[in-house]
Amino acid sequence: MSDPILSVTDLSVRIAGLHILQGVSFTVAPTGVTALLGRNGVGKTTTLRALVGLTPRGGEVSGSARFGDRDALHTPTHRLVRAGLGYVPEDRCVFAGLTVAENLRLAERPGAAPAYDRVYALFPELDKRSRQRAGTLSGGQQQMLAIGRVLLADNTLLLVDEPTKGLAPKVVTEVAEALAAVAEEVPVLLVEQNLAVVRRLARDAVVLAAGRVAWTGAADKLLGEPELTKALLGVGSQGVHA
């Protein structure tokens, strides 16, 4: 098997006196989608934020996260971004007062030609709405803008946090379809609560529990065993279809 694109070893994060991650180790394959799963509040977002150097001020991070020839935990965020690490945060973080086109322009990287063709082929809606203020887009359109922004550059790994959260079922399907297309080009570490989306997209799964990795393996194996799914995630997987 090819080398992982990301190898996380013994990642620990303490924030505000809480030992949230207590020695998390896992790898992300260089192709396809790896789902990072776990019950609410287990530390999935904390993991992604630690990987991109966005742990809240005062938080303590230790361990290592090998990304290419770097340790992501000891590399400033802007260098990681330049090295091809794309991050789509949970709250989307679009600039509400700016237009769609302006949001995209801000995401251009100096010295690299922005791939507007790729973004508009995947999300034609962004092209149509280029002059609309991002704050007036629907939740699904804002999510597309947040994903579109990272796709302007040639990334080698995307970290995507709960992209379907709060979206209507039809829009969940649209976003999942778009991510499936994205994942054909670039590997994705995906935090996702919607197991239908996980089933649709993920080949590999990593499950966090009590600050550690509780299970890793094939996503379809996890979701194909209702008792395992229930034990690890606290929810059933039956009747889950994207």
Backbone angles phi, psi at 233, to 5 degrees: -115, -10
Shortest approach of ligand ATP to residue 2 CB, angstroms?
Answer: 28
Q: What is the DSSP letter of 109?
A: -
Token pair listed for 203: 């080949």
Quote the CA–CA distance of 45 and 15 in Å, as a whole number. Answer: 13
Query: Which neighbouring-strand residues pair with 161?
Result: 191
Nearest to ligand ATP of 115, 240 (CB atom): 240
What distance in Å separates the CA atoms of residue 45 and residue 204, rounded to the nearest whole number?
A: 18
Q: In whole angstroms, how close is the CB of 42 to ligand ATP at the nearest point? A: 4
> What are 14's two structure tokens?
């303490």
CB nearer ligand ATP, residue 20 or residue 153: 20
DSSP code per residue over 210-236 = TTEEEEEEEHHHHHH-HHHHHHHHSS-
Shortest distance (Å) from residue 37 CB to ligand ATP: 9
Closest to ligand ATP by CB, 48 or 157? 48
Torsions phi, psi of 209, nearest 5?
Answer: -155, 135
- CB of 230 vs ligand ATP, minimal distance in Å: 17
CB of 122 to ligand ATP, least distance (A): 26
| Strand order across the 188-191 sheet | 85-88, 157-161, 188-191, 33-38, 202-209, 212-218
Nearer to ligand ATP, 14 or 66 (CB): 14
Specify the residue, 13 or 122, whose C-beta has the smaller distance to ligand ATP. Answer: 13
What's the min distance (Å) between Cβ of 159 and ligand ATP?
A: 12
Residues lying near ligand ATP in the complex (CB under 6 A) = 15-16, 18, 20, 38, 40-46, 56
Q: Which is nearer to ligand ATP, 125 or 204 (CB)?
A: 204
* 214 within 8 A of 42, measured Cβ to Cβ: no
